Structure 1
Amino acid sequence: MKRRNFIRNSSRAGIAVSLLGVYACKEAKKENAKEQTGEGLDTQSNMEDASPFFELSLAQWSIHKMIKNDGVDPYTFAEKAKKWGFTGLEYVSQLYNPELSDAGYSEEAMAAFVEKSNAEAKKHGLKNVLIMIDGQGNLAVDDAQERKEAIEKHHKWVDAAAAMGCHSIRVNLAGTNDPVKWKNNSVASLKELGAYAKGKNINIIVENHGGLSSNGAMLADVMATANMDNCGTLPDFGNFCIKRKKGSYECEEQYDFYKGVEELMPYAKGVSAKSHDFDASGDETEIDYVKMLQIVKEAGYTGFVGVEYEGSELGEEAGILATKDLLLKAAKELS
């Protein structure tokens, strides 16, 4: 090839390569712009993959039948929760009886409970969230000495929660049905127990758990009066029965679910997603989860939402998974 033709052909090739480079650069810029604006992306897929505004924990009460009736070891709680897709653990004190109660909740027994629970949580990469305390005395009882003893019994659980890295213990406010006495006794107990727990960096939280505590307005008033930053609520979607019919589980006096949760959310340090039965679409038959989660979201809550299945139509594992699936489905439907 003559040198002149070689130069001409080389020039043409150089121009072609240069043009290809410019084109490629422009296309790369277009794709980058699309990525930044979301243009051309599968919006539906993104919505489906979006994480909810809360984290998922499992309330151990959801497996109380396995433990109490079937002899399942309560220390397999973390293993089960991990398998079912949860990241947080909500323990229930009574499910470790008679191990703890037979030992009189001794220092040694409590230390063993903490050590074993921590080991299992660490092994499965889960977070200890809270401990639900039952059977440790009535915090709203009239008798001052009885109330003092109940508060002291809760101290061991505050210590355990602190050693486990939990943020709270859940307590019950039972003891009287007189509204005025109930409020005064509840506030006094929360202030005293809250003061002890503050030094351990633990919250004292109250669930709407029957009796006057299931009156959302009254429990919110207790929190406002106690006025302690480490005392709060654990709104439960379904525990709003104030009074049951004598000799029956049927509710006689029912507080409005949605009103109650809305009243308790300003003080919430946890949320409990109660469930019993499901329809063919996978929705809870009595509780509108979309409406409930909207209330929770609008309150600015972004912590753990605990699954607490209490039904009998499904087995405990199936009920737990159905509740978890419903929470995730409902979260996608929020405005």
Structure 2
Amino acid sequence: MRHAEDVTFGGSGFDRGAEIRPDAQAVAAAEADPAASAVLIWRGKPLVTGAARDRLARLRLSHPVVAGAAPPRILLGREDGAPLFAVDISNWAPEGVDPAAIGGFVDLSEQVHPDIPEACFAELRQVMTRLTPHDAELAATARALMGWHASHRFCACCGAESVPAQAGWQRLCPSCGARHFPRTDPVVIMLVTRGNRALLGRAPVWPEGMYSCLAGFVEPGETLEAAVRREVFEEVGVRVGAVRYLASQPWPFPASLMIGMHGVAESEDIIRDPVEIEDAMWVTREDLSAAFAGRHPLIAPAREGAIARFLLRNWLADRLD
């Protein structure tokens, strides 16, 4: 697709400064730079500001909350020539927070740190479409990296506790010397069509009425095309023939790369896997258009900002090329 990177979290041209990461002196100089700043993450939520929660907040490294944050401090890159870091303050425990509600599919709660009253921590899925492409990329990168560090503290080779390295872009095992890198899980998400209809399904945990494209993890030794055909057949029993790549989207919930594909169905009878799929149906362009306009009595489209919605909108507009 000519406009593939228009998708939420798409490439904004951010300078990640990857050449700095192996140079400990350069990283130390970046931390000492008086112009250096940081974005903050709390339990997966970025710190945002603005009345509409439409700007990713930055704080100087000298700010007490940043200075007191537990490691790692991750060098995201350079912004207007100045170093930009990410820090996690998940050790902060605000009052009146239900841990089970944090980071859920629908988390509308906001948390305000007493030392940062001008901003709040908000669920990224709720604010991602309000952020600029640049801020959205930064928030997604910071969230994914912090989540990886939190869930991969121990060496997969020997079990010893590993330590952050390369400005937060690696973990190093001091016991056996193994190096570990941030995890990204490839997921195919399929716009499957048959003439004037698209194949949509819904998972049991989704909000009432919400339908989206089918998706699934790519297995070892499998091409993207083969993964599309396997997942669609496993989930709804539909055979897919021709498959092509459309676009991709980093999806830091927690660490996926959503790979948008277009598949042409060779059959249409639906045999649903009841464990994975609560319902599936063929939807005409007319019905899907009504759903996007909020006029369909049964169907609500995929979440705003998700690549599924991006693919479906472009199919409606005949802009898949």
Structure 1 length normalisation: TM-score? 0.25
* Higher-helix-fraction structure: 1
* Higher-strand-fraction structure: 2
**Which one scores higher on RCO, CA 8 angstroms, separation ≥ 6?**
2
Q: Answer with 1 or 2: which has the greater Rg.
A: 1
